[in-house]
Homo-oligomer: A and B are copies of this chain.
């Protein structure tokens, strides 16, 4: 059992998997996950938080492994009826998943904070991990593409990531306040590491780091900051990260991700398949851990989490 507290920054599937490993190797109540909310959106009047839900469902063991989103043992009768009355069906909402969206929307309209609603969900669904939205204020990713600017979920789900990406905007980022509970967790006396999960650097991690004060606070903490590459062997395990990199004129590689995080990261974790890139990453001043990062089972997730914690200890020891 690793000692001390850890803060993880996460987006969707890949991030969620690693938080599951971390939750299993840390003491109860010692993991905080700061989750991207820039791909949240309102759909049919419902307030939907895809990354928050993926992290929350995964930590509670309720996630749909096959789809990579939503709940396991899901049914689709709402969706079928919605189609019959001619409503929008491009964004799939399962019958059970809908309870989360309806309840969240209801409470948001009653001016409850997304943080509080999320905490209540975690408590009723059964995890003691502190899952925090990066902000209680709305931030919305707009994908700049060859066919114009597109709201993230339209790009991601409706258009299946097909338009060519040329950049990103995070609407609302100038005024959104970095979650004070996240800020607090960075300042914990027993903080052992901040871990940037293997999530999309452009649309999952960048929004978190773009919130006023977040990046600066990270630069000034004593505990090591470790990022895990979401790119393995030139491919994203899931999602459009590699495609985005190519379209932005950048080689899809662990090295390219390491460059994105250059100014804040102490250690970088890459997969065995990318061992050849270790030296170049080290030359940028980051320590490198080469290990198995493809999280195909809870065993691999826990082993990876343990390896990352050992890596953090090692960096910490050298820095003293």
Question: Which residues of A does B touch, CB under 8 Å?
Answer: 44-46, 71, 74-75, 77-82, 84-87, 95-100, 102-103, 105-106, 109, 120-121, 124-125
Contact = CB atoms under 8 A, between A and B. Distances in A.
Contacts of A44: 102-103, 106
A81 B99 contact: yes
Nearest 7 CB-CB pairs, A to B?
A81-B99, A81-B96, A77-B95, A45-B106, A82-B99, A95-B95, A44-B106
B84 A125 contact: yes
A78 B81 contact: no
Nearest to A123: B86
Count the copies. Answer: 2
Given A44-B106, A124-B86, A78 B98 contact: yes
Contacts of A99: 78-79, 81-82, 84-85, 87
Interface of A is mostly: helix
Contacts of A120: 85-86
Nearest to A121: B85
A120 B86 CA distance: 9
A124 B98 CA distance: 23
A221 to B, nearest CB: 34
Nearest to A96: B81
B45 A109 contact: yes
Given A45-B109, A95-B95, A102 B75 contact: no
Contacts of A75: 75, 77, 95
A82 B95 contact: no
B121 A100 contact: no
Contacts of A100: 81, 85
Given A45-B105, A80-B96, 17 more contacts: A44-B103, A45-B102, A45-B109, A71-B81, A77-B77, A77-B95, A78-B95, A78-B96, A78-B99, A78-B102, A81-B96, A82-B102, A84-B124, A85-B100, A85-B121, A85-B125, A95-B95
A309 to B, nearest CB: 32
